[in-house]
A and B are shown apart, each in its own frame.
Chain A
Amino acid sequence: MRQIVIISGKGGTGKTTLSAALAAMGKELTVADCDVDAANLHLLLQPSDESRHPFSTGAKAVIDQQLCTQCGACMDACRFDAIRYQDDRYTISETSCDGCRLCMRICPAGAIHMIESNGSYWTTGTFRNGWMVHARLEPGEENSGKLVNVVREQSRLLSEKKGVDTILIDGPPGTGCSAISALSGADLALLVTEPSRSGFHDLKRVKQLADGFQIPSAVVINKYDLNGKLLDEIEEWCRQENIPLIGKIPFDPAVVEAMLQCRTVVEWAPRSAAAGEIVAIHRQIFQS
């Protein structure tokens, strides 16, 4: 099975637009939306969801004031600064609690219990060119990396069951837990960037991350014609680093128009300049 992850470091470089267009073309495949914090792929691929599964992102500790003897042991032990003593009582900040359960185990009065956070879920379904696994993180919940792992695992199982040999992964921004989970074990990392200082800076960091996992990378420059100077710098860097530059997508109003119709650009405006370039990128990834 071949797993291709599309990732960018910086958000907003057009990673999801490209993922959706690549997914809508060619042989049937499985798409995994691993940008669980800002899952947008379903807006363009419009899957029909077949099954939804709850996901627990962890737990938060709560103190029962009736049982609390105010010994303060929990506050001393907490390494997340989540426990406060205010107005003659100990309380736990929901946003700071990491869910480690140490306070619950320490409390001599048995006054602390955990509440599971289970507003998040993952979904499998079909779309017009194959299968799709995506997820929704409940706003404000943690452990997006764990949810990404579930999406990856489920897309693998689904592909095996359906006899599909390609998984396309739309990755999250950043270089932390969810990016790590999206990258690990992939066969190719497609790094999408744009010709700007910040895009270039983040490209270098995400390349370093892919290298850390020994995953070969290739670069796509989106909206390449927005800045000639930065374009040159990025091209030069790709040469030095020996990374194949497999596509340069022009700034094209057709991309936004397609998005407003909730379609991919290759379907909505197949004759546009952007679509032409994406077809060429598709060919390079899937026919070599």
Chain B
Amino acid sequence: MKIAIASGKGGTGKTFVSTNLFWVASQKGIDCVLTDCDAEEPNVAEFLAGEEEQVEEVYQQVPVIDPKKCTFCGKCYEYCSYNAILYLPERRMIQVQPDLCHDCGACSYACQAGAITEHPKLLGRVTHAAYGIGQQLIEGRVEVGIYTPVPVITRAIHEAGNRELVFFDSPPGISCPFIATVDRADYVVLVSEPTPFGLHDLQLSVATVRKLSKPFGVVINRAGLGDDAIYRWLEQESIPLLLEIPFDREIARIYAEGGLPSAVNSSYREMFSRLLTQIIQKRVS
């Protein structure tokens, strides 16, 4: 079963939920892997230290145009849907802007003059680490300033393979990186908080997850710090509230330092254990 832990806006505690869920599952001896798909800002490693086993690099192909072979017909420029080709025929200038290129291959297909060759460009890395007794941590991490993390995320998810439980710590937002992750999950846990921002972003995430037709439930973090508008909305929409995590300064302190509340506090351990059981039951039903 693949479980994505996600939130519309960042900072609601999705990594908090995913690391604790994974920890509880691994304590139970379940065959599981936690995949950090928040490749622009991967944070799982701040909380869970595994033993690094393997690092692979992820590349994309970037086309390069040889001006000596180019006939300046403009076909590649016309074919590029991303404005990645700078084409100034009157100055006999043509160039691919690597930052805008999506590696779609349309220009190579278009060029009849054999002027385009493709060269690899490093996007990021996927790291495998062993954890516990056969469990695993996988991290996707893009280089700073790379336009899209999607190829790195896709690779990280691919590497996670099929285990009894696969957790995805999803990227924030409702755009491509979020979709690339959530689309591959069987169940989605949306983490939010009881504030107007939290509610607004949750509504957007719910719309996105519904578009993908994924079953989902909601965890409310920092319960007690806001108001009850979010609860009314969940009820209205008949969305299951899986868990409320109270705001607790002591827990916030432990977590801020990279500690795992489940590992040091039995009531948190029980809380995440219950959450895990609830999620697993969703598969059966």
Please name all residues of chain B whose beta carbon is closer than 8 Å to the beta carbon of A161 when the two chains form the complex: none
Please name all residues of chain B whose beta carbon is closer than 8 Å to the beta carbon of A175 when the two chains form the complex: 40-41, 142, 144-146
Q: A43-B200, A197-B256 are in contact. Are A100 and B104 (CB under 8 A)?
A: yes
The reply to whether the CB of B201 lies closer than 8 angstroms to some CB of chain A is: yes
Please name all residues of chain B whose beta carbon is closer than 8 Å to the beta carbon of A141 when the two chains form the complex: 175
- Are B46 and A101 touching (Cβ within 8 A)? no
Stretch at the interface among A4-12, A265-273, A280-288: A4-12
- Are B257 and A100 touching (Cβ within 8 A)? no
Please tell me which one of the listed residues A43, A77, A144, A177 contacts residue B105 in the complex, with CB atoms under 8 A apart: A77
- Are B109 and A37 touching (Cβ within 8 A)? no
Nearest CB to that of A200 among chain B residues?
B46
Query: Most chain-B CB neighbours within 10 Å: which of A173, A178, A226?
Result: A173
Nearest CB to that of B253 among chain A residues?
A227
Please tell me which one of the listed residues A10, A43, A59, A79 contacts residue B41 in the complex, with CB atoms under 8 A apart: A10
Within 8 A of A (CB), among B107-164: 109-110, 142, 144-149
CA distance A209 to B176 in the complex (A): 20
The reply to whether the CB of A13 lies closer than 8 angstroms to some CB of chain B is: yes
Q: A139-B204, A176-B142 are in contact. Are A259 and B197 (CB under 8 A)?
A: yes
The reply to whether the CB of B196 lies closer than 8 angstroms to some CB of chain A is: yes
The reply to whether the CB of B183 lies closer than 8 angstroms to some CB of chain A is: yes
- Are B105 and A197 touching (Cβ within 8 A)? no
Q: A180-B145, A198-B15, A260-B195 are in contact. Are A98 and B104 (CB under 8 A)?
A: yes
The reply to whether the CB of B106 lies closer than 8 angstroms to some CB of chain A is: yes
CA distance A227 to B257 in the complex (A): 8
CA distance A112 to B76 in the complex (A): 20
What is the CB-to-nearest-CB distance from B151 to chain A, in angstroms, rounded to a whole number? Answer: 9
- Are A38 and B11 touching (Cβ within 8 A)? no
Please name all residues of chain A whose beta carbon is closer than 8 Å to the beta carbon of B225 when the two chains form the complex: 256
What is the CB-to-nearest-CB distance from A123 to chain B, in angstroms, rounded to a whole number? Answer: 15
Q: Range of interface residues on chain A?
A: 35 or more
- Are B40 and A176 touching (Cβ within 8 A)? yes
Q: A13-B11, A141-B175, A260-B195 are in contact. Are A209 and B144 (CB under 8 A)?
A: yes
Stretch at the interface among B205-213, B235-243, B266-274, B277-285: B205-213
Q: Range of interface residues on chain B?
A: 35 or more
Please name all residues of chain B whose beta carbon is closer than 8 Å to the beta carbon of A262 when the two chains form the complex: 196
The reply to whether the CB of B47 lies closer than 8 angstroms to some CB of chain A is: yes
The reply to whether the CB of B255 lies closer than 8 angstroms to some CB of chain A is: yes
Contact with B along A1-37 (1 / 0, CB 8 A): 0000000011111001000000000000000000101
Please tell me which one of the listed residues A102, A145, A198 contacts residue B104 in the complex, with CB atoms under 8 A apart: A102
The reply to whether the CB of A201 lies closer than 8 angstroms to some CB of chain B is: yes
The reply to whether the CB of A113 lies closer than 8 angstroms to some CB of chain B is: no
- Are B148 and A177 touching (Cβ within 8 A)? yes
What is the CB-to-nearest-CB distance from B61 to chain A, in angstroms, rounded to a whole number? Answer: 8
Nearest CB to that of B183 among chain A residues?
A95
Please name all residues of chain A whose beta carbon is closer than 8 Å to the beta carbon of B258 when the two chains form the complex: 197
- Are B9 and A38 touching (Cβ within 8 A)? yes
- Are A256 and B43 touching (Cβ within 8 A)? no
- Are B41 and A202 touching (Cβ within 8 A)? yes
Please name all residues of chain A whose beta carbon is closer than 8 Å to the beta carbon of B207 when the two chains form the complex: 139-140
What is the CB-to-nearest-CB distance from A58 to chain B, in angstroms, rounded to a whole number? Answer: 8
- Are A100 and B149 touching (Cβ within 8 A)? no
The reply to whether the CB of A47 lies closer than 8 angstroms to some CB of chain B is: no
- Are A172 and B12 touching (Cβ within 8 A)? no
- Are B177 and A176 touching (Cβ within 8 A)? yes
CA distance A196 to B183 in the complex (A): 30
The reply to whether the CB of B92 lies closer than 8 angstroms to some CB of chain A is: no
CA distance A173 to B204 in the complex (A): 16
Please name all residues of chain B whose beta carbon is closer than 8 Å to the beta carbon of A205 when the two chains form the complex: 40-41, 144
Q: A16-B197, A195-B256 are in contact. Are A105 and B43 (CB under 8 A)?
A: no
The reply to whether the CB of A229 lies closer than 8 angstroms to some CB of chain B is: yes
CA distance A256 to B208 in the complex (A): 27
Please tell me which one of the listed residues B40, B200, B252 contacts residue A226 in the complex, with CB atoms under 8 A apart: B252
Please tell me which one of the listed residues B79, B174, B177, B200 contacts residue A137 in the complex, with CB atoms under 8 A apart: B174
- Are A11 and B9 touching (Cβ within 8 A)? yes
- Are B249 and A140 touching (Cβ within 8 A)? no
CA distance A158 to B256 in the complex (A): 41
Within 8 A of B (CB), among A85-128: 95-96, 98-102, 105-106
What is the CB-to-nearest-CB distance from A107 to chain B, in angstroms, rounded to a whole number? Answer: 12
Contact with A along B173-190 (1 / 0, CB 8 A): 111111110010000000
- Are A208 and B174 touching (Cβ within 8 A)? no
The reply to whether the CB of B227 lies closer than 8 angstroms to some CB of chain A is: yes
What is the CB-to-nearest-CB distance from B45 to chain A, in angstroms, rounded to a whole number? Answer: 9
The reply to whether the CB of B56 lies closer than 8 angstroms to some CB of chain A is: no
Please name all residues of chain A whose beta carbon is closer than 8 Å to the beta carbon of B10 when the two chains form the complex: 10-12, 38, 173-174
The reply to whether the CB of A129 lies closer than 8 angstroms to some CB of chain B is: no
Q: Which residues of A contact B (CB under 8 A)?
A: 9-13, 16, 35, 37-38, 40, 43, 58-59, 77, 79-80, 95-96, 98-102, 105-106, 137, 139-145, 172-180, 194-199, 201-202, 205, 208-209, 212, 226-227, 229-230, 256, 259-260, 262
Q: Which residues of B contact A (CB under 8 A)?
A: 7-13, 15, 40-41, 43, 46-47, 79, 81-82, 99, 102-106, 109-110, 142, 144-149, 171-180, 183, 195-197, 200-201, 204-205, 207-208, 211-212, 225-227, 249, 252-253, 255-258
